[in-house]
Amino acid sequence: MELILNEAAAKEELSGIRRFTAFVKQTPGAIGFTMGEPDLDTKEEIKAAVMTALDANETHYPPGNGSPFTLEAISAFEAEKFGLHYSPDEIILTMGSTEGLFITLATVLNPGDEVIIPTPAFSLYESITRLFRGVPVYLPTEGSGFQVDPEALKRAITPRTKALVLNSPNNPSGVVYTKETMDAIHDVLKDKPIFVLCDDVYRALVYKGQFHSFAEYQDMRDRVVVAQSFSKSYAMTGWRLGYVLADAPLRDKMQVFHQYCVTSAPSVLQRACVQALKTDVTYVRELFQKRRDYVYGRLTAMGWDVTKPEGAFYMFIPTGRYDNDSLRFCRRLVTEAGVGFVPGVYFATEGYMRMSYCYSDGELKEGLDRLENWVNAQR
Ligand code: PLP
């Protein structure tokens, strides 16, 4: 008997980052710099908020989009800190930004719709697009310093274009889109029925320049969604919490996917979200900035021609001096040098590898020493 599955799901592979991480872990003695998660623990006061919720028996189904106190806290936080004005009924508390990105694309895509994804890019966008029978359209940014080039964007747009994904600070390039880039994208899109999905999850980790969300262009409010996360800047990756900001009519439809998939984010975690928003994350930014400077200094001293990242916690390192085939090269580094980086091909960009620097100073030093020995041995 032949069992026929959903075609899109049957074809889709699991995350390349996770597969490569498993390969590094299976290699005896190898150290990996493959995961994008802070090595910090969640702050005590955030954990304590969950205890309070349990003691108060907040263990029942919460309202689907989030408890009113959570949505009000998010709404006030976004307005005060980032000047983004979204009322509580324009927010959904999601299970990580992953769910936020999923329900957004689920809500806007029809089969055959095209989603423009500037590359290099986190692979989630293309996978979700394909799962909903959409078509990922890559927009390479290598030639424009990893900023989106408005002329290239214009050329990528077709009558089937349904959405553009913007991820700034960017995983994996670490680039922060400038105001000029954002203004130029706005000029291209302002009169078009194209949704913009802003993945702003690294917004708190900007070391140079100024962060701008595309959501600042309120004339396009009906077509813009912001996906946010508690994972990165609050060291809460395992909590699986995030939220989306979207104009009320769109949010109401996104709620359909959210409700039928998860019902709501967990009740007992909602006070932790409120507490997290009160946390000053300057210490996280300063820590990663220090590590970025260290890693950048070491890599350039070894002769790697790397662009200094302005945000997030990744280095996107060109591999062309040895091998343009990033998977083959990264495998070689794991087996010969005992050090693991993610092949650029998993970000739809060959000839690069991604190093995550959210690891301890000791691990970074050890990994970079190994890389340096390997580089010296090639001479
Ligand atoms: N967006 C980007 C750019 C990411 O790098 C990640 C995780 O690595 C996510 C979204 C998903 O994060 P989460 O679901 O933990 O919020």
From 249, 277, 305, give the residue that closes a domain. 277
Same domain, 241 and 301: no
Query: What is the reported pLDDT for 101?
Result: 98
The verdict on the CB of residue 228 being under 6 Å from ligand 1 is no
Shared domain for 220 and 247, answered yes or no, is yes
> Based on the domain organization, do 201 and 286 belong to the same domain?
no
For residues 61 and 207, membership in a common domain is answered with yes
Ligand 1 pocket residue status of 118, Cβ below 6 Å: no
Same domain, 27 and 92: no
Ligand 1 pocket test: pick from 20, 37, 94, 97 the residue with the most ligand atoms within 8 Å of its Cβ. 97
Residues 241 and 224: their CA atoms lie apart, in Å, by 20
Same domain? For 94 and 140 the reply is yes
What pLDDT was estimated at residue 209? 86
Same domain, 25 and 174: no
pLDDT at 21: 94
Is the C-beta atom of 82 inside 6 A of ligand 1?
no
Q: Per-block average pLDDT, block size 10, for the chain (379 residues)?
A: 93 91 95 94 97 96 97 98 97 98 98 98 97 98 97 98 98 97 98 98 94 97 98 96 98 98 97 97 96 98 95 97 97 97 97 97 98 94
Q: Of all atoms in ligand 1, which is nearest to the CA of residue 242?
A: 16
- CA of residue 97 to ligand 1 center, whole Å: 6
Question: 99 in ligand 1 pocket by Cβ < 6 Å?
Answer: no
Task: Establish if 1 belongs to a structural domain.
Answer: no
> Which domain CATH number covers 356?
3.90.1150.10
Determine which helix (DSSP H) or strand (DSSP E) holds 318, and give its type and residue range. strand 314-318
Indicate whether residue 242 lines ligand 1 (CB < 6 A): yes
Residues 136, 28 within the same domain: no
Q: What is the DSSP letter of 219?
A: G
Report the separation in Å between the CA atom of 182 and the middle of ligand 1, taken as the mean of its atom positions.
21
| Number of Cβ atoms within 10 Å of the Cβ of 69 | 13
Token pair of 25 as six digits: 């872990």
Which domain does 185 fall in, by range?
A: 44-277
Provide DSSP, 114-164: EEEEEES--THHHHHHHHTT-EEEEEE-GGGTTSPPHHHHHHH--TTEEEE
Residue 127 lies in a domain: yes
Final residue in a domain of this structure, among 257, 277, 297: 277
Whether 309 is in a domain gets the answer: yes
For residue 305, report the distance from its CA to the centre of ligand 1, in Å. Answer: 27
Does any ligand 1 atom lie closer than 6 A to the CB of residue 104? no
In this structure, the answer to whether residues 239 and 325 fall within a common structural domain is no
What is the C-alpha to C-alpha distance for residues 290 and 297, in angstroms, rounded to an integer? 11
The total number of structural domains in the chain stands at 2
Q: Is 347 in the pocket of ligand 1 (CB under 6 A)?
A: no
Does the bond joining 172 to the residue before it have cis omega, within 30 degrees of 0? yes
| Whether residue 48 is found in the same domain as residue 32 | no
Q: CB of 36 closer than 6 A to ligand 1? A: yes
213, 232, 273, 314: which to mutate for ligand 1, most atoms within 8 A of CB? Answer: 232
232: in domain = yes
- The pLDDT, as a whole number, for residue 379 is 81
What's the confidence (pLDDT) of residue 331? 97
Residue where one domain finishes, among candidates 227, 258, 277: 277
